[in-house]
Structures are given as C-alpha cells and as structure tokens.
C-alpha cells in the first residue's frame, strides 16, 4: 500500500530507507503544501533519481471526483468524491461576498447518529474517514481555488459524519491543517461541529483550546431534542450543558449553538423563551439554520420556519443578551445540506457492518 503524501512519518521512513538526509522531507513538504504540486514528478527541488524512487511509493489522493454542482449564484460548489473502496463523501466550498472562503469537510462516510432532519443520517455509517482522506478534500479544493485566485480561509467540520466519533483522525487532520510548514490554517479559523458527544468535548477542550466548537442543539428541552436527535438518549441536555460549561471554563471560548428551524417541530413560540433561559449567562452564540427540505429526499414533510418567526426567536435571545445570526442558506439549489448528494446517488441506506458496530458501540456509551 503506498504511503499518503500527508503521512509525514511514513515519508520520513521511506527517505531514511533510501539513505536520504532528513531535510529532504522539508523540501517535499514545501512543494506539497506551499507550491501545491500535483505529483512527486513535479517536485524539482529533489533529484530525478529520488523522484523516480518515490513516485510509486507515495500517493497524493485516493479520492476521485464523482460529480460537482455549483449554485446558480456561483457562490457554493459541492463536490461528491468516491473513496478507494467506493464510499461517497461530500465537501462544500462557500465563497462569501466578503472574499473569505469556507470549506466544509466530511469526517465519516455516512453517519451513525440518525438525526431525523439530516440526509446523511438516513444513510447510516459506512466507515470513518482516515485523516488523509479528510486532508485530501482540503487539498483538492485548495488546488481548485488557485485558478480563481482564492484560498481557503476557514474550515468547518460540518459535512458528513460526527467528528468526535472519529477523534483520532480528526486530531491528525487538524494538526496538519494548522502546521505552519503545511497548510498553515489558523486554528481560530477551524470549527468542529458535534451533535453533543460529551467525552469528545472534554478531549477537544484539552487538545484544541483555540479551535472553535459548534454544537448542534436544535431544541431547548430533552423531549423535543430526543424526538429529532437520538444522541439525546445517551447524552441528555443537562450532561451536555455541564460539559460545555467545563469547556468554556477551560478555553474561555464562546460556544456556537446550531439551531435548526423546522416548522412545527423546533420553532414552538415557547421554545424561544426556553432557549433564552437555557443559554442565559453562558458564553454563547446561536446560529439559526432554516431547514433545507432537500427536494423531497427526506420524504417526511418537514418544512422551514418562516423568516418572521426566526426573527422573533432572535429578538427573545437579544433581550436575554445572547447574540444570534441566521445562516445564509447558500446553495439550496444544489442540495448543499450534508448528505443530500450522496443520498441522491445511492437512493437508500447501505450502512456496512463496520458502520453498524460503531453505531452499536456508541449506543452503549463506548
């Protein structure tokens, strides 16, 4: 099996096996991460002989682009990749009018969490992505943006999958993204989004106190949360909030609460007050997300909340001193909500045995 171009230890072992000095790795890293070369043959700072030896040993990408769609306004492009073993994963680039570009990456093929409003949740989990597969999504889009004279500035782990159920690979991927000699993305410009895996939040506070944390809250009470997010059965709201309080105490960072607005489900008028009470006095920012019905893929009749009602929620929060924003729904015309393209391709859940066993372990709290 060839070594990934992102596997520093693997490449160093190869170089050492070829009797090369350790500084050769720095030359390769410069070419890969700063010059964005497409292959080993393009690294002209190392000898032709070494290039020939390495070219069959190192692989730049194991992902192949299956399809891509750009929204009518040109701001959002969604890429559907196929992994070496035939799994479909998605990444989305959002070109904001301010000039910054945000990449949303996937960390699992599918997802075991089963949130009822999410197309990825309908797929089930196929497997965890490797750190290299996460980085390959970034690398592909970064290279694509060069032709537009743009660069990725922000990275959000909000694509397919629950990042804290693939913690080891998440950690490795963030380390490479933030390495100044590699992609050099500021850790403050990376956001990891969890549906509320408490042990993951604890580890994350220890390992990445500078990286931003977003939490999919989506309801202000146990009952409603349980009806749309099975994670609530394992980590109830009280445990989640206690863990987030410890996170804030440790990092002094504001937590971003994602709140999906689904008509008749999460937008009951009294929920605005409950949400304000839940977050009062906490270092919080709420991001309201109008539900994306996904062109009927969900098939369950869920509809987005009206703008007027979302504004009422915002007003209630404002009175309690809690800032909020409404996510600009970029790319509705291309199924930009996570999982929708893969769902379209597959048409049904094909969760693997590995995926099912990870889901089972999660339910048991492992």
252: which 2 tokens? 């002094």
Reply yes or no on whether 338 is catalytic: yes
For ligand SF4, the closer of residues 159 and 220 by Cβ is 159
**Residue 243 C-beta: closest distance to ligand SF4, Å:** 17
Nearest approach in angstroms of CB 358 to ligand SF4 is 12
d(CA 274, CA 218): 12
104, 107, 115, 338: which one is catalytic? 338
* CA 21 – CA 37 distance, rounded (Å): 22
Q: Which is nearer to ligand SF4, 164 or 313 (CB)?
A: 164
Catalytic residue among 20, 90, 133, 136: 90
Nearest distance, CB of residue 80 and ligand SF4, angstroms? 15
Which two structure tokens, joined as six digits, stand for 101? 């570009």
Nearer to ligand SF4, 57 or 332 (CB): 332
Q: Coil, strand or helix: which one is 153? A: coil
Binding site for ligand SF4 (CB under 6 A): 111, 113-115, 118, 120-121, 160-162, 195, 216, 338
Maximal C-alpha separation, the chain: 70
CA dihedral 312, 314, 320, 321 (to 10 degrees): -150
Which of 111/135 has CB closer to ligand SF4?
111
Q: What's the closest the beta carbon of residue 346 comes to ligand SF4, in angstroms?
A: 15
Residue nearest ligand SF4 by beta-carbon distance: 121
Distance between terminal CA atoms of the chain? 31
Least distance (Å) between residue 229 CB and ligand SF4:
7
- Of the two residues 19 and 365, which places its CB atom closer to ligand SF4 in the complex? 365
Q: Which is nearer to ligand SF4, 128 or 216 (CB)?
A: 216
DSSP secondary structure letters along 285-315:
EEEEEE---GGGTS-S---BPPHHHHHHHHH
DSSP string of 159-213, one letter each residue: SSS-GGGSHHHHHHHHHHHH-TTTT---GGGEEEEES--HHHHHHHHHH-TTSEE
Q: Is 202 a catalytic residue?
A: no
Rounded to whole angstroms, the Cα distance separating 139 from 177 reads: 10
- Which residue matches tokens 């489900």? 265
The minimum distance between CB 122 and ligand SF4, in angstroms, equals: 8
Compute the distance between CA of residue 221 and CA of residue 35 in angstroms, rounded to an integer.
50
3-state secondary structure of 16: helix
Length of the chain: 366
Active site residues: 90, 338
């Amino acid at each position: 099996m060839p070594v990934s171009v992102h596997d520093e230890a693997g490449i160093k072992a190869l170089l050492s096996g070829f009797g090369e000095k350790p500084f050769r790795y720095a030359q390769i890293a410069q070419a890969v991460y700063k010059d964005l070369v497409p292959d080993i043959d393009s690294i002209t700072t190392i000898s032709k002989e070494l290039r020939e030896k390495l070219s069959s040993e190192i692989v730049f990408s194991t992902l192949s682009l299956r399809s891509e769609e750009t929204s009518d306004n040109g701001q959002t492009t969604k890429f559907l990749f196929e992994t070496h073993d035939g799994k479909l994963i998605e990444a989305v680039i959002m070109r904001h009018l301010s000039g910054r570009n945000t990449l949303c990456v996937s960390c699992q093929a599918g997802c075991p969490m089963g949130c009822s409003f999410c197309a990825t949740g309908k797929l089930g989990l196929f497997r965890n992505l490797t750190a290299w597969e996460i980085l390959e999504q970034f690398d592909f889009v970064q290279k694509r943006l060069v032709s537009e004279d743009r660069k990725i500035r922000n990275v959000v782990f909000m694509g397919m999958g629950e990042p804290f159920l693939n913690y080891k690979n998440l950690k490795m991927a963030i380390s490479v993204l933030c390495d100044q000699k590699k992609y050099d993305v500021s850790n403050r410009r990376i956001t990891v989004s969890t549906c509320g895996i408490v042990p993951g939040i604890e580890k994350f506070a220890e390992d990445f106190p500078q990286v931003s944390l977003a939490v999919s809250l989506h309801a202000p009470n146990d009952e409603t949360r349980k009806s749309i997010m099975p994670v609530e059965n394992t980590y109830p709201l009280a445990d989640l909030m206690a863990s987030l309080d410890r996170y804030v105490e440790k990092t002094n960072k504001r937590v971003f609460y994602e709140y999906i607005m689904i008509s008749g489900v999460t937008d009951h008028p009294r929920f605005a007050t409950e949400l304000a009470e839940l977050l009062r006095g906490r270092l919080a920012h709420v991001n309201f997300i109008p539900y994306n019905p996904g062109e009927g893929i969900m098939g369950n009749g869920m509809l987005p909340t009206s703008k007027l009602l979302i504004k009422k929620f915002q007003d209630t929060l404002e009175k309690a001193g809690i800032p909020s924003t409404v996510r600009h729904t970029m790319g509705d015309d291309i199924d930009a909500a996570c999982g929708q393209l893969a769902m379209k391709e597959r048409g049904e859940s094909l969760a693997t045995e590995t995926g099912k066993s990870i889901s089972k372990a999660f339910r048991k709290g492992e």
